[in-house]
Structure 1
């Protein structure tokens, strides 16, 4: 599998898994009433901020984040819409990149001010893995409260995609 195909697959998987989680949270009243609901929202806002920050790094735009943990977190409905929009952006962006653009190294600074350098491919892989990690955090919290989390398994995504293709 080429790097560009892998990145396209991973961004589509990430969007699918995020959509499943947001749909669950939006449609399960119990999830919004658990004691850890503010923590879930903080985790989601953090993951979303990281997506925004790395999009800015890849496009050369400025971002206004001074931390990956926003001081003013978005409420679930706004966050859901914004997360779905940035997931769509990542999918479109992944499809627009050539192999050469994927391996282009970009210098940037983390929100801490520390200098860094990564390729676009590495940044996208970071965003996808970061999202998977935090969906796992949320899944544990949901299970602890008797709520079955949405399936977040790439094999399910690939199987579902193969059936609809």
Structure 2
């Protein structure tokens, strides 16, 4: 398998996993599952940080230290995929 096809396959898998996570999160009711939603936000934050590090390495640079994980969950609609 070539590097190009391997990366394509991995990015497709990542897109699928992201879609599944967003679908599961959207199915949770904010009031009844506040703790679970907070966990989802922390997972999404981790994914974002790791993606940023990966992108920086692909571009041959270094990434500055990521910001700390927010302790307060942001308002849910801002976390929806765009």
TM-score by length of 1: 0.38
* Residues 8-34 of structure 1: CA deviation (Å, up to 9, x unaligned): 1111111122112212312x143x332
More strand by share: 1
| Contact 2:25-2:40 at 8 Å conserved across structures | no
2:13 alignment counterpart: 13
The structure with the largest alpha-carbon Rg is: 1
| Contact 1:56-1:63 at 8 Å conserved across structures | yes
1:70 alignment counterpart: 69
Bigger RCO of structures 1 and 2 (CA < 8 A, at least 6 apart): 1
For structure 1, the residue ranges without an aligned partner over 5 or more in a row are 83-165
Q: RMSD across aligned C-alpha pairs, in angstroms?
A: 3.0
TM-score by length of 2: 0.65
What does 1:33-112 align with in structure 2 at a 5 Å threshold? 33-34=32-33, 35-61=35-61, 63-64=63-64, 66-67=65-66, 69-71=68-70, 75-81=75-81
| Contact 1:53-1:63 at 8 Å conserved across structures | yes
For structure 2, the residue ranges without an aligned partner over 5 or more in a row are none
